[in-house]
Amino acid sequence: MSKIILTISLAALCLAGFAQRIVSPEQLAKVKSDMSKFDNATEAYRALVKDADKLMKTELIPVTEKTVIAASGDKHDYVSMGPYWWPDPSKPDGLPYIRKDGQRNPELANLDKNKLDKMAKSVIKLAYAYFFSGDEKYAEKAVEFLKMWFLDKKTGMNPNMEHGQMIPGHNNGKGRAEGVLDTYIFVEMTDCITLLSKSKAMKSKDLEGLKSWFSRYLDWMLNSDIGKDEYNAKNNHGMAFDVQATAYALFTGRQDIADRFIKEFPENRLFRQIKPDGSQPLELARTIAFHYTLFNINHAMDMCALARSACVDLFSATSPDGRSITRAIEFIKPYLGKAQSAFPYQQIKEWNENQERCCWMLRRATFFKPSSGYDELFDEYCRTKAIDIKWLLLAK
């Protein structure tokens, strides 16, 4: 695979000229200028502001407030549990836990994952509400949440995942490589911090503090044993690691690291995980194969968005034997609009929900490949309610 069809320009000047964006600044500005031109965008905006107004009255729970503390004994250390691990019914104490792929254990709610997700999703909604409305109050609330979670010495999270996705009864409460995926939502959130940096609420010291936190977290990802294990993952976890490392490197100005991950991405991830027929065997082996196939394609497109902001076209990357993101999309596309029985792999739950995810995956792909015919499929099969924020962020 020495020859690759790929356009790459990794000059520092190009990297320095762009902030990373999962949704491009041009797209956001275009929609903001006249929402009435786009299907459902106005209704989605109204729903966004309504949700943001509710968040104005919300107080989030910091990582330090919990009953289940990491094995380190430090309440500032994030702790979560592997989502598909359950008590062993054959053991009086249920230990060690056993795996049930695709079945989420409700005990997860007792740890930090839900709190982290709620914080990040709240910041994202408030940041977009600020951007589209221009109302500083939303930025003020978002910055309040960010300071509580990352900067406050009493409530802040330590920049590591040493206890992420631990499994009760295994490894003395130590985290696993898979725990790094818990912070994937920070990829979009760091984009939103960039939006918030234009507000009066985001002080320079706060922005520098956030960049420092993410720089230290990036160092942990790159140098810790857990981080290295996740980097070496051969499935969606490895793909997601690269996206996170690139996003945080761009956010913190560490362009050399972003450069390296972008340059290595086709050979290191795309061409190893996608077969010439477009299949992703490691995702298709799961009990929710349709979900994980889409999940990984979206990771790949996140990386394409980050690379595009650095003047690199990863979406067109193609191996000599035809492995590419487009080929992966073409493999899964025929199952859109089909009954679950038509899918020759396991998908034990949420077939209809993943049909909608497939529609939006195709919509995202049109921003990289406009003349693909994906818009027609999206229009035919998408049933997402008009209030969904995707109608605003991915408006066409």
pLDDT digits (tens, 9 = 90+) for 331-356: 999 999 999 999 999 999 999 999 99
Which pLDDT score, from 0 to 100, does residue 19 have? 64
Give yes or no for a cis peptide into 159 (omega within 30° of 0): no
Closest CA to 294 of 263, 268, 329: 329
Q: Report the alpha-carbon distance of residue 154 to residue 62 in Å, rounded.
A: 9
Q: Which of 186, 206, 232 is at the close of a domain?
A: 232
Which pLDDT score, from 0 to 100, does residue 15 have? 41
Which pLDDT score, from 0 to 100, does residue 21 have? 86
User: Same domain for 270 and 301?
Assistant: yes
Residue 240 in any domain: the answer is no
Which pLDDT score, from 0 to 100, does residue 8 have? 42
pTM value > 0.85: yes
Helices within the chain (DSSP H only): 12-16, 25-33, 41-55, 113-133, 136-146, 186-196, 204-223, 225-231, 236-251, 255-265, 271-273, 281-284, 289-309, 325-332, 351-366, 374-381, 390-393
**What range defines the domain where residue 309 resides?**
1-55+248-396
Residue 242 in any domain: the answer is no
The burial of 163, by beta-carbon neighbours within 10 Å (0-12 exposed, 13-18 middle, 19 or more buried), is given as buried
Residue 89 in any domain: the answer is yes
Residue 241 in any domain: the answer is no
User: Same domain for 255 and 373?
Assistant: yes
User: Same domain for 95 and 226?
Assistant: yes
Question: 50-55: which pairs have CB atoms within 8 A and are 24 or more residues apart?
Answer: 51/125, 51/129, 52/125, 52/126, 52/129, 52/138, 52/141, 55/122, 55/125, 55/126, 55/141
Closest CA to 84 of 328, 300, 287: 287
Q: Report the alpha-carbon distance of residue 205 to residue 211 in Å, rounded.
A: 10
Helices within 84-180 (DSSP H only): 113-133, 136-146
User: Same domain for 128 and 260?
Assistant: no
Q: Are 230 and 180 in contact (CB under 8 A)?
A: yes
Dihedral sign for Cα 204, 208, 214, 215, please. positive
User: Same domain for 42 and 178?
Assistant: no
User: Same domain for 205 and 73?
Assistant: yes
User: Same domain for 136 and 170?
Assistant: yes
Walking along the chain (396 residues) 10 residues at a time, the average pLDDT comes out as: 43 47 93 97 98 97 96 97 96 97 94 98 98 98 98 98 97 96 98 97 98 98 98 98 98 96 98 98 98 98 94 96 98 98 98 98 96 94 98 97
Residue 238 in any domain: the answer is no
Which residues, listed in sequence order, are joined to residue 318 by a DSSP beta bridge?
5
Buried b (16+ CB within 10 A) or exposed e, 185-221: bbbbbbbbbbbbbebebbeeebbebbbebbbebbbbb
Residue 221 in any domain: the answer is yes
CATH number for the domain including 2?
1.50.10.100
State the angle between helix axes of 351-366 and 325-332 in degrees (0 to 180), rounded to the nearest 10.
Answer: 140
Q: Report the alpha-carbon distance of residue 21 to residue 250 in Å, rounded.
A: 10
Residue 188 in any domain: the answer is yes
Q: Which of 186, 203, 232 is at the close of a domain?
A: 232
User: Same domain for 141 and 3?
Assistant: no
How far is CA 58 from its chain centroid?
24
Which pLDDT score, from 0 to 100, does residue 5 have? 47
Q: Which of 232, 265, 293 is at the close of a domain?
A: 232
**How many domains does the chain fold into?**
2
Residue 394: φ, ψ to 5°: -115, 35
Q: Report the alpha-carbon distance of residue 77 to residue 309 in Å, rounded.
A: 33
User: Same domain for 223 and 253?
Assistant: no
Mean confidence (pLDDT) of the chain: 94
Q: Report the alpha-carbon distance of residue 195 to residue 197 in Å, rounded.
A: 5
Residue 243 in any domain: the answer is no
User: Same domain for 77 and 51?
Assistant: no
Which pLDDT score, from 0 to 100, does residue 206 have? 98
User: Same domain for 296 and 363?
Assistant: yes
User: Same domain for 228 and 252?
Assistant: no
Q: Report the alpha-carbon distance of residue 167 to residue 371 in Å, rounded.
A: 46
Q: What is the pLDDT of residues 4-41, one digit of tens each?
A: 545 443 433 354 445 668 999 999 999 999 999 999 99
